[in-house]
Structure 1
Amino acid sequence: MTNDLADVNERVAEEWTSETTPGERVRTVMKRTYDPQSVATIAERALTSETTARKHLGVLAEDGVVEAVSLPDTRGTWYKRSSRSVVLERAGQILDSVDVETLSERVTELRETVREFEEQTGAESPRAAAIAGADLDSAAMTEWQTTRRNLKLARAALALADATDAVEGDTGTTEHGDPAGVIG
């Protein structure tokens, strides 16, 4: 049985390497890497060399997909998925699952729930409420934190929808190549 699994794993690995580029494999690995990983670990998971992985990680870092981090008591640069990349992906998933009008209504509901927690505790955040000794049980605190996070993600999704609409409606660039004068 162990031999059968090894054979299957080997065939899957061969198929993955034959059907994808090293860059695609590094990107795929990093989409699932939230804790810092060494280049050697990422290269092993992506079925490529450390040199190739390092090259593609540099590109992904420039694009904001990953963050390079230095950890105490470790050698070299380690990488993890960037928070910005996670937020952008989640915002996209939200837009894929709900229309903008419904999302706008949900933002209003979430905002009202957050406002109710703030009024109930006299604090602007769950952390501030905990520090002030607000009378909320752990379930209510968790609900407040979750609602705040969901509100932020929903707002990010609306902003992404708005930016996407703006980009689709404006294909011009400035004389310096700056898209629509964004840089200045």
Structure 2
Amino acid sequence: LIDATLKKSGHGDIETLEADLWRDIQPDFRTSHYLDGFAHADKKFHFKADWAHPPFGNAGMGPWEQMPSLPDHWTIIEEADEAHPFRLATSPSRSFLNTSFNETPSSVAREGAPSVMIHPSDAASLGIADGEAVVLGNTRGETTLTAKLFDGLRRGVLIAESIQPNKAHVGGRGINTLTGAEAIAPIGGAAFHDIKVWVKKAAPATARKT
């Protein structure tokens, strides 16, 4: 990948990089500070984006045609609805770094089994007690976690910290079972998807397995 990137960008290849181990590709002062204008024909900064032209507007790169042309809020996240009344956030945990260290024995011992934080009032309305097994789901699938009641949440919001291995979840289906894989506008790339879900108490047989 490094070799291909160097060649495509006109900076030699991996062998030349390994020989000198340093490549200064920072533009000169005037260019990097835009003293002579920006990379448009009129040299002006453009507040209005033209998403329909390269490098944007490519097929398979997300719904770029829906993006606002001027800087604005774009409601592209999954909004809770009647069938999926909760918003799920997979926030960082204190023991793992995303998927890093999530199979390290000491980190696993500190973090424990996969869990989801629920506001006590939301839990009460669903008959869910602290420490019980619960199932989260949407049209993509389901996953089972342990409920942790926490009144520091907003009502209607669930937090499942970190991304534990699939094998750590009952049934072997991890939290990303619920996550979409749609490309992100305007040019694809990494995404942090907001997810809408429903939650219910796990069936007794499932709860015993935890």
TM-score with structure 1 setting the length: 0.27
| Higher normalized contact order (CA 8 Å, seq sep 6+, divided by chain length) | 2
- In our comparison, the structure showing a higher alpha carbon Rg is 2
TM-score with structure 2 setting the length: 0.25
